[in-house]
Amino acid sequence: MPDTVRLHARVYGLVQGVSFRYYTLRKAQTLGLTGYVRNRWDGSVEVVAEGERAAVDQLLSWLHVGPPSAEVERVEFEWQKPLGEFRQFEVRF
Protein backbone atom coordinates (compact mmCIF):
# COMPACT_ATOMS: atom_id res chain seq x y z
CA MET A 1 0.00 0.00 0.00
CA PRO A 2 1.66 3.23 -1.11
CA ASP A 3 -0.13 5.44 1.43
CA THR A 4 0.63 3.27 4.45
CA VAL A 5 2.68 5.02 7.14
CA ARG A 6 4.11 4.30 10.57
CA LEU A 7 3.93 6.76 13.46
CA HIS A 8 6.11 6.55 16.55
CA ALA A 9 4.90 9.00 19.19
CA ARG A 10 5.54 9.84 22.84
CA VAL A 11 2.83 11.71 24.73
CA TYR A 12 3.81 13.72 27.82
CA GLY A 13 1.78 15.28 30.61
CA LEU A 14 -0.85 13.74 32.88
CA VAL A 15 -1.26 10.70 30.65
CA GLN A 16 -0.86 7.74 33.01
CA GLY A 17 -3.58 6.66 35.41
CA VAL A 18 -6.28 8.33 33.30
CA SER A 19 -7.13 5.41 30.93
CA PHE A 20 -5.07 6.98 28.14
CA ARG A 21 -3.95 3.60 26.80
CA TYR A 22 -7.48 2.24 26.58
CA TYR A 23 -8.91 5.34 24.91
CA THR A 24 -6.01 5.19 22.43
CA LEU A 25 -6.72 1.51 21.80
CA ARG A 26 -10.38 2.25 21.02
CA LYS A 27 -9.51 5.21 18.78
CA ALA A 28 -6.89 3.23 16.84
CA GLN A 29 -9.23 0.26 16.40
CA THR A 30 -11.99 2.56 15.15
CA LEU A 31 -9.54 3.98 12.59
CA GLY A 32 -8.45 0.50 11.46
CA LEU A 33 -4.84 0.90 12.63
CA THR A 34 -2.36 -1.68 13.86
CA GLY A 35 0.38 -1.24 16.45
CA TYR A 36 0.48 -0.67 20.19
CA VAL A 37 0.28 1.76 23.07
CA ARG A 38 2.15 1.42 26.36
CA ASN A 39 3.17 3.35 29.45
CA ARG A 40 6.82 4.29 29.74
CA TRP A 41 8.88 4.43 32.94
CA ASP A 42 9.21 8.22 32.70
CA GLY A 43 5.45 8.83 32.91
CA SER A 44 4.90 9.24 29.17
CA VAL A 45 2.85 7.06 26.85
CA GLU A 46 4.38 5.54 23.72
CA VAL A 47 2.30 4.89 20.60
CA VAL A 48 3.34 3.03 17.48
CA ALA A 49 0.67 2.94 14.79
CA GLU A 50 0.57 1.80 11.18
CA GLY A 51 -2.13 2.29 8.59
CA GLU A 52 -3.44 4.62 5.94
CA ARG A 53 -1.99 8.11 6.18
CA ALA A 54 -5.34 9.84 6.74
CA ALA A 55 -6.24 7.50 9.61
CA VAL A 56 -2.83 7.83 11.27
CA ASP A 57 -3.08 11.62 10.94
CA GLN A 58 -6.43 11.46 12.77
CA LEU A 59 -4.86 9.44 15.59
CA LEU A 60 -1.97 11.90 15.84
CA SER A 61 -4.39 14.82 16.11
CA TRP A 62 -6.31 12.96 18.81
CA LEU A 63 -3.10 12.25 20.77
CA HIS A 64 -2.60 16.01 21.19
CA VAL A 65 -5.87 16.12 23.16
CA GLY A 66 -6.33 12.62 24.60
CA PRO A 67 -9.24 11.44 26.75
CA PRO A 68 -11.22 13.85 28.95
CA SER A 69 -9.24 13.15 32.14
CA ALA A 70 -5.79 13.57 30.50
CA GLU A 71 -3.71 16.73 30.35
CA VAL A 72 -1.44 16.46 27.33
CA GLU A 73 1.55 18.80 27.55
CA ARG A 74 3.28 17.77 24.33
CA VAL A 75 3.55 15.06 21.72
CA GLU A 76 6.89 14.15 20.18
CA PHE A 77 6.63 12.04 17.05
CA GLU A 78 8.42 10.80 14.00
CA TRP A 79 7.36 9.12 10.80
CA GLN A 80 9.00 5.79 10.11
CA LYS A 81 8.96 3.23 7.34
CA PRO A 82 5.99 0.87 7.85
CA LEU A 83 7.10 -2.68 8.60
CA GLY A 84 3.74 -4.46 8.54
CA GLU A 85 4.67 -6.37 11.69
CA PHE A 86 1.36 -5.91 13.54
CA ARG A 87 -1.93 -7.77 13.07
CA GLN A 88 -3.98 -5.58 15.39
CA PHE A 89 -3.69 -2.64 17.75
CA GLU A 90 -3.02 -3.59 21.37
CA VAL A 91 -2.10 -2.35 24.80
CA ARG A 92 1.36 -3.54 25.83
CA PHE A 93 2.61 -3.79 29.38
Q: Which residues are catalytic?
A: 21, 39
**Which H, E and C letters describe the chain, residue by residue?**
CCCEEEEEEEEEEECCCCCHHHHHHHHHHHCCCEEEEEECCCCCEEEEEEEEHHHHHHHHHHHCCCCCCCEEEEEEEEEECCCCCCCCEEECC
